A and B are shown apart, each in its own frame.
Chain A
Amino acid sequence: MLRNRVGRLTATVLAGAMVTLGVAACGGDNSSAKPAEGGSEKPAESTGAKVGLAYDIGGRGDQSFNDSAAAGLDKAKAELKLPEAKEMTASPGETEAKKEERLRLLADQGFNPILAVGFAYSGSVKKVAAEFPDVKFAIIDDAAATGPNISNLVFAEHEGSFLVGVAAALKSKKKNIGFVGGVQVPLIEKFEAGFTAGAKAVNKDIKVQSKYLTQPPEFSGFNDPAKGKTVAEGMIDAGADVVYHAAGGSGGGVFEAAKAGDAQAIGVDADQALTADAGVKDVIMTSMLKKLDVAVFDFLKSYAGGTVKAGETVYDLKVSGVDYSVTGGKVDDIKDKLEEYKKKIISGEIKVPSTNP
């Protein structure tokens, strides 16, 4: 009798193990889908830079923020013939100690330069860079961590968002547009501020609906398409006919809602009319480009050329660090107006606010 029970339990445990294995197998697939990390074919031609890259939560494959950085690294790998690049990823809810350890491990293993993707690395980059004065560090989206060997790569998200705000206002027939933010953090509020300012510059009576999917410390808003869809549907029901999202992976849901509700959507970070799912590409009228890939590539290139500049590099409209996309030709008719605003921002005639009034 005891044996029977043991047998049953064993069966249960085994069944559980199978499920676990299934999950693990999926995990394995993901990782094997990553491009091979390791040496290139001809190390003799390489520049000798072993690049270490630390992603924020999500890592490579998030179709958004981290992927943009990964694209820059891939381009650099191909064009600069980097011998080796190591990519590491943050886990949700981790402490700063773990981020520090990640950077320190990379530095210990001789990786140089090291790129940290995301403002969450601010404190850890500052600390670890001081411990490894000979290693060049770069951090994206943060200018607070400063040091002789730290390059801060920051973007003028509000300027790019202003332009898509202008586009939204010009394209909206109902004079009612929406903004979906992933998580209500200062960084995403910058997108909202620019977008609202751009729309109001065209039509000061336009209605701008704004909503964030989650509040910190709940960061799931960057990766919750279902929530993005619900919120966007709500905005469209309330009369919006153009919706802009700055919600990372949740953006897919926003596009679906726009498609179902006969509205138009604006993508973010990458040119999403190219990268989004095929079924929803046609609702994306433009995207606010935040060219992380350019920033990452530029940094690696300057490292290869020995011209790394410490301190802040701002990727704004002037240097095309942020921009709007024209894929699909949906904004061709208003392109002149957009270019006009762009010129005014670059010349300083229009000052785009980076925080909400």
Chain B
Amino acid sequence: MSPSSTGGFLDRVLGRVKLGGWLALAAPVLAILFAAAITAIVLLITGNEPFATFGLMVEYGFRPRTLALTLNFATTYYLAALAVAIGFRMNLFNIGVDGQYRLAALIAAAVGGALVLPGPLQIAVVILVAVVVGGLWAGIVGLLKVTRGVSEVISSIMLNAVATGVGAWLLTPELLAVPVAGSNNIGTKPIPEAAHFPGIALVPGTQTKVFGFIVIAALMGIAYHVLLNRTVFGFNLRATGRSESAAVASGVNVKKMVLVTMLLSGAVAGLIGMPQLLGASYSYSLDFPTGLGFTGIAIALLGRNHPVGIAVGALLWSFLDNSANILDLEGIPTEIVIIMQGTIVLSVIVAYELVHRYRIGAEQRRVGRELAQNTAKPEGAAV
């Protein structure tokens, strides 16, 4: 039903087909309303008052402390979604972002704990190590794909498991970890205070600082936009994503593109753990957050791989995540949040598809009408 000129379903899901004007906004708004409606039904069935619950979430969400926390979570989510989005734009499904950021954070934390350099320099070294480790780990996936044709979905998901194993092996007292007296936790040596990434008191009315890394995340978003839309590399990347054969025909070295894109995606993945490592925990221990790579996939889909869309998606996701605590306190099952997040992703995809089909239908009817009017006229009066 979809003409080839508008790409396949996948192209639309991944935001490679642009929707113009109000439709681009209508779809996500409708999707969120739809998700809210589903959640309301769930709440009713489980015996909770939907409007009171939403009211509670919004009230809690706009407390200064929560706002700061929301921005902090969103910073991490944004980086995770960007890492995923780079691959998505080229039809590369980097499911291994999770393993890439965990391994990168662990090794970067160990290096940061071992070194004593002037503060800013040490921060730079830690970030560099994370980027390199993340990139190299993702590079394995790229290499396997270009040399052996291994699907990146399979290899990256397996490398997640390998990263878990390697991480567990490294995080032992014999290698990178130091035990803490009296604690059952175990982590890398804490990064010295001089190399902590300073927070910003962005939200008035709370002592909780926002990760300074939010600036870097924003810069990464701009860099992502410029790279994709203003450079030859970005053009080649998008072209390869849309049609590999066409890209080959126009002289793009697809193998090189695959490898470089995976390296880039992994390098950004390496940054995911940095806000937490350099801004909050200063050490990689057993309770370092996990699963951010998979959250990133959902948010990249939600934001249709657009730098602004992802930012909105990350904020929404982190707002919902944060509201779980207040729901728990009020005795409302926190699973509501997960249901809502899942429904939003699904309904965004469905809404875009509906809007897209509506547009094609309208276009076809318009062309049909004009053709009918113009049958009497000579050729060449096409639309």
Contact = CB atoms under 8 A, between A and B. Distances in A.
Interface of A: 1-2, 5-6, 9, 12-13, 16-17, 20-21, 23-25, 27-28, 30-32, 37, 86, 88-89, 91-98, 101-102, 104-106, 109, 119-120, 122-123, 141-144, 146, 152, 154, 184-187, 214-218, 312
Contact of A95 (B280, B324, B353): B280
Nearest to A99: B287
A95 B277 CA distance: 11
B183 A13 contact: no
B46 interface: yes
B287 A28 contact: no
A94 B182 contact: no
B168 interface: yes
B287 A9 contact: no
Contacts of B196: none
B325 interface: yes
B242 interface: no
CB-based closest 3 A-B pairs: A215-B168, A143-B182, A28-B46
Interface string B79-108: 000000000000000000000001000000
A119 B46 contact: no
B329 A105 contact: yes
B316 interface: no
Contacts of A97: 69, 72-73, 280
Contacts of A13: 34, 346-347, 350
Contacts of A141: 184
B186 to A, nearest CB: 5
A31 B347 contact: no
B342 interface: yes
Interface in B325-347: 325-326, 328-329, 331, 333-336, 339, 342-343, 346-347
B180 to A, nearest CB: 5
Contact of B42 (A20, A92, A96): A20
Q: Which of B164, B328, B342, B347 lies at the interface centre, i.e. has the most chain A CB atoms within 10 A of its CB?
A: B328
Given A86-B329, A109-B329, A144-B183, 11 more contacts: A2-B357, A12-B350, A13-B347, A91-B324, A120-B286, A141-B184, A143-B182, A187-B184, A215-B165, A217-B164, A218-B164
Contacts of B165: 215
B182 A144 contact: yes
A186 B339 contact: no
B287 A96 contact: yes
A142 B325 contact: no
Contacts of B180: 144
B335 A184 contact: no
A9 B335 contact: no
A184 B177 CA distance: 14
A152 B181 CA distance: 13
